[in-house]
Structure 1
Amino acid sequence: MATPISPTNTTLPSRATTGLSDGAIPEADPNTTSGLLAERLQAWKHMVGYLEDYVEAVEKIHGRQAKEYEKVLKTISNPLREGHHFDQSLGGVAGFFENMRTNTQAMINSNLETEKNIKGSVLPILDRLHKEIKHKAKELASGAQAGAKEVEKLRNVTQKHIELLGQRAASYDSHGAKIDSHEDPYVVRRGITYRLNNQVIAENNHHNDLVSVQNNFRTFEVHVLEVIQQAMEAFTQLAGGQGEKIRALHNDMLGTAQCIPREFEWANFSQRFADRLVNANDPPRSVEAIQFPNMEHTSTKTLIEGSLERKSRNKLSFGYSTGYYVVTPSKFLHEFKDSDDTRTDPKPELSLYLPDAVIGSPTGDKFTIKGKDKSGTLSSKLTGSSELNFKAHTAADAQRWFQVIHGLIGSATVAAGSTPTSPVTATSPTMTGPAGAVAGGAAVAAVAGAKASESPEARSPIATSSAEKHQAQEVGITGVTPEDKPAAA
């Protein structure tokens, strides 16, 4: 085997062994700068687009605002309802509303004018700037970005030949320097130098283009900001000026309202309608002084009334509760919470129709009645017919209640102390009970008839105040003649 002409190179070629200080293929992407500048132009274009959308939205708002103020104007249509109540001369409410109409119409016109000026003055400025930025982006794409693509293409070609040189050098080492002429590493290396020269020329040209573009960007951005400031100045003069007009119109309405004398309208109104206004010197009304039809009718007077204690129908309850009871000419025994007619609506909590009831003879101050509650309350529907135990203030009071109720029931009582389960018939010759009791129901009926035949003047509740009557009722029994009332009461 022949000895090799040159020592064998045991290392493979690499990009670092080319002898170029910066490397044949720089690490920097040629598209980095141009791509960054293109992205910056895109940002400026979007910024101007946002500003255009904002100004256009404000312009449309003024158009809608004009329509809304037209609705506002309709709310104070002329003439005002019941406008005759206000003085029609200047300086009053009628003049104030006329001022409001005039100023509201001025607000409508101001909004329409602002909408027109923004659309014709501000938006065209921003639209031209938007187009300039798009044109600048096209210039960058056709210039610097195209150059970047060319540089990238040349770098790829150089890289391929550098890789080919590595293959040829490796083949030279493996074949002992015996290779074909077209595979000579020397020729490949010179080809790399040729392509590197083209690549470097393109890179330098691209670099100079980028420097020029960057310098131009500085000037262009100054121009963009100048145009934006010009547009915002015009926009502020129009929109802000319109706001000042609205403020001035509102201040004019406020001034007109503040100039109305506080008593101007009332003084003129009270003078025009003096015959229909109430007289402040009229005395206040009193319930006791009011008369109404049938207020003294016989059916509205009680046969007996007063407070009684009643044991609850609930078997689980103990003791007695106090209530106010009345017996009416309609033959009902009504129970109320109290005798006050003004605090709450006096609706009966218990109503017994006495002709259908049975009463037992009093035992001291107690007596019982058995009957069906017809008040229509929930408890009346649940209990049905039941026996009620009453307790009067005194035995004499119990006897009086017994006499009146017995006369309405129409049946004799049972023996004293007995329950109403075995009533005595009306044919019984006597009626047991405390001394002084009237025998039979005829005497009670006579008392009731005498009471019903009393003159309205003698029984009128107007003679005394409602407070005095209430106090008298709470003591015990009222509604019977003085002759029938015991001395103890």
Structure 2
Amino acid sequence: DIYYGIRDKTRAIADQHANLGRTVEGSIVQHLQKLRVEIKAHIKNIQNDTGKLATSVAKERALSAKLVGDLATNIAVLKNTPLGVTARSDPYVSNQVVARQLVRQVHTENALHKSLLLTQSSSALFEASLVQAVQSAWATFEEWRARTDSAIRDTWGVLSREMAALPTDREWIAFAAREDHLVDPETPLRDPQHIQYPSKDDPSVLPVHAGLLERKKRYTRSYREAFYVLTPAGFLHEFASSDPALADRPQFSLFLPLCTLGPPSAPSAKSHKFHIEERKDGTGGVHTGSLRGLRSSLTGGGGRAWAFRGRSHEDMMEWWNDIRMLCARYLVASEQMERSGPVAAAVVPLVI
């Protein structure tokens, strides 16, 4: 079988590589470890010599900057309050101190410069010796690797030919024949719309009316369009989107059985709107009157009033008639539109 052949031949190849590894460990790695010790010693010498000088230069530069700042301060004191100058703060004395400090700084910097030149020269020679040592180690490794490659080349060739001759579907066919837990390719994907669960088609979960409406903002007094759903439970929900995947929870809701519905605007009005007032008692009867009467009613009710606007008068009247069947009371200013459909079957009018 091909897999038994692969097992035996790869084991032989592994043994040959292990032999090469032992040879590399004994002949090359030990030499490279000695180089590592030499590199660490060279780095330590650089840190002891050049590193200390660099620290001294940094200290001298910091001291020079401080003394130059003191000189500028003493000069300012002399110009502003001449009587406040002391012997130590005399700008002449301060300048002499700065000059001496700059001499010390320059001497330290020159010493660092010479040390760096010497370190660079020695490092170049040291780097050349390192490269030669690594090249020698690599030549030794290449010699042993060539011997190992010659021994395993034929083995790799046999494995390649055997693997190339293996049919691509041989293993899968054998697996599928003995496995009974595979998914049937003919099984269709599930559709969420076809999932049945208790109360899915209950009348209380089906919307009475759904569509776009504009609601007047409370502070900016401008209208903003949103997707609204009127439910049999008596709620008018506002959603950010008509797609339930994007907005499954309402961002604004009105419980209509505790609200008063105002009369719709006339067909000739420029804006097709109506008002809904929140009420606490939820009682009231059907009244007929004008918008002025509704305004006074809203003033006396103590609840907030919301203005809604439709795209057309027909669209607005459809909303108004459906909402009328759920409100505690409503006011009318014109002849009501009669409509038929699922509203009457899904909603019981709450008219007192």
Instruction: Please give the TM-score of this superposition, normalised by the length of structure 1.
Output: 0.35
Larger Rg: 1
